[in-house]
């Protein structure tokens, strides 16, 4: 794919704002390309980051035909940047698109666009420990129509945001409210796709949990309201007796997290056993109370690992590991971030170097 380059500012605030937060600051450039049935994907361009002008009748606003994804570029000790399992992320973007009746993008072209954009904007990568350049690909439906049908025209764009460490100074556990009133996704629905409706539908329940003093919501399966699905916008895992990691199986309503998949591949190499299975919330509460569950944590690109300190369910509250982060979460966090930041060798072939320190060349990916 040839990408047209339009002039854009190279100015980067020095230093970057201290309080970057998550996705509040954006770089100078964005990637865009368009799709129509007659021409397929075309007009690949990297140009200035700017507002989109959209018809108010565009289908994205009425049908919600839109998907997105998220991955990060990490600063390596040698000054170059690492992309982490970026092809797997692109494949998920395509699966989301197909589920929403949208045209997939060419995976290699999408990855190429990310590399070029990151290469041009690498100076925006924050230097603080735990910070990164967040990459947000999006696809939206453009047809000017109020009909409920798949659009014929789409916009695919990619923007970048320097993000701070998810956990400011520490590795503080989050408090989690188990919702038996609202559900996030149902099997056969769109839970496996990264589409805004899943997130919009979670906001009310999350706000209510916040008002009750919790930070995140643990979503149960939509049919029986009994089995654990996900926590907030993360996959979840429970550690039994300090060595056995259990996580819900991907049964159709759960997003296929790249972090989850990486932990499941990494953990056995560190001596942990793993199981992907249905996990009933009653069992979790019982096992947490009697101490068999020694830790619980969320897994996602944003935080990598987010320890869970307590669960609130139907008026009961159960602390996990007395509300503290545990050694398994810490170890997995250190191992995975060590790979992502290029601080340790990558035997899995998950990282791809974008050379920005000297020559502007990218290394091929060894394996997915």
Ligand X SMILES: Cc1ncc(COP(=O)(O)O)c(C=O)c1O
For 309, residues 6+ apart whose C-beta sits below 8 A from its C-beta are 172, 173, 174, 175, 319, 320, 321, 323, 324, 325
Kindly provide the residue ranges of all beta strands, DSSP E only, lying in 165-292, ordered along the sequence.
174-179, 216-220, 228-231, 235-240, 244-248, 273-277
**How many residues can be counted in the chain?**
368
Q: Which one, 120 or 233, has the nearer CB to ligand X? A: 233
Rounded to the nearest whole angstrom, what is the least distance from the CB of residue 198 to ligand X in the complex? 7
Q: Is 59 in the site for ligand X (CB under 6 A)?
A: no
Q: Figure out which of the listed residues 91, 230, 287, 335 binds ligand X, where binding follows CB under 6 A.
A: 230
Q: Which one, 73 or 299, has the nearer CB to ligand X? A: 299
CA 232 – CA 207 distance, rounded (Å): 11
Q: Figure out which of the listed residues 86, 135, 233, 245 binds ligand X, where binding follows CB under 6 A.
A: 233
How many other CB atoms are there within 10 angstroms of residue 21's CB atom? 11
Q: Which one, 82 or 235, has the nearer CB to ligand X? A: 235
> Three-state SS for 116?
helix
Q: Which one, 33 or 259, has the nearer CB to ligand X? A: 259
Q: Figure out which of the listed residues 25, 32, 68, 70 binds ligand X, where binding follows CB under 6 A.
A: 70
Site for ligand X in 237-256 (CB under 6 A): 255
Q: Figure out which of the listed residues 30, 258, 303, 325 binds ligand X, where binding follows CB under 6 A.
A: 258
> Three-state SS for 225?
coil
Judged by phi (left if over 0) then psi (alpha if -120 to 50, else beta), residue 211 lies in: alpha
Per-residue contact string for residues 268-307; x = within reach of ligand X by CB under 6 A:
-------------------------------xxx------
Q: Is 235 in the site for ligand X (CB under 6 A)?
A: yes
Q: Which residue has the tokens 């009750």?
A: 212
Q: Is 221 in the site for ligand X (CB under 6 A)?
A: no
User: Which residues contact ligand X (rule: CB under 6 A)?
Assistant: 70, 194, 230, 233-235, 255, 257-260, 299-301
């Amino acid at each position: 794919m040839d990408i047209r380059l339009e002039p854009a500012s190279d100015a980067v605030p020095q230093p970057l704002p201290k309080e970057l937060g998550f996705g509040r600051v954006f770089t100078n450039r964005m990637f865009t390309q368009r799709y129509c049935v007659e021409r397929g994907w075309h007009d690949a361009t990297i140009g200035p980051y700017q507002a989109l002008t959209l018809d108010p009748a565009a289908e994205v606003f009425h049908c919600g035909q839109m998907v997105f994804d998220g991955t990060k570029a990490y600063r390596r000790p040698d000054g170059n940047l690492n992309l982490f399992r970026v092809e797997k992320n692109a494949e998920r973007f395509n699966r989301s698109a197909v589920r929403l009746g949208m045209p997939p993008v060419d995976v290699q072209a999408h990855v190429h666009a990310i590399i070029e954009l990151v290469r041009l904007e690498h100076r925006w990568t924050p230097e603080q420990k735990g910070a990164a350049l967040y990459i947000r690909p999006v696809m939206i439906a453009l047809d000017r129509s109020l009909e409920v049908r798949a659009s014929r025209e789409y916009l695919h764009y990619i923007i970048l945001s320097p993000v701070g460490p998810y956990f400011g100074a520490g590795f503080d556990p989050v408090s989690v409210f188990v919702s038996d009133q609202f559900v996030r996704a149902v099997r056969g629905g769109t839970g496996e796709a990264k589409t805004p409706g899943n997130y919009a539908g979670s906001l009310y329940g999350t706000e209510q949990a916040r008002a009750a003093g919790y930070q995140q919501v643990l979503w149960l399966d939509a049919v029986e309201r009994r089995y654990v699905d996900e926590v907030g916008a993360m996959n979840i895992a429970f550690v039994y007796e300090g060595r056995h990691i259990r996580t819900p199986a991907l049964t159709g309503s759960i997003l296929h997290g790249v972090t989850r998949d990486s932990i499941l591949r990494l953990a056995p190499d560190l001596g942990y056993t793993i199981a992907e299975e249905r996990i009933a919330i009653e069992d979790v509460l019982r096992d947490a109370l009697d101490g068999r569950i020694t830790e619980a944590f969320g897994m996602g690109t944003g935080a990598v690992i987010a320890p869970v300190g307590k669960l609130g369910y139907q008026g009961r509250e159960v602390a996990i590991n007395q509300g503290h982060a545990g050694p398994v979460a810490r170890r997995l966090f250190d191992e995975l971030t060590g790979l992502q930041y290029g601080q340790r060798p990558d035997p899995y072939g998950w990282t791809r170097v974008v050379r920005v320190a000297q020559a502007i060349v990218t290394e091929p990916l060894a394996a997915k």
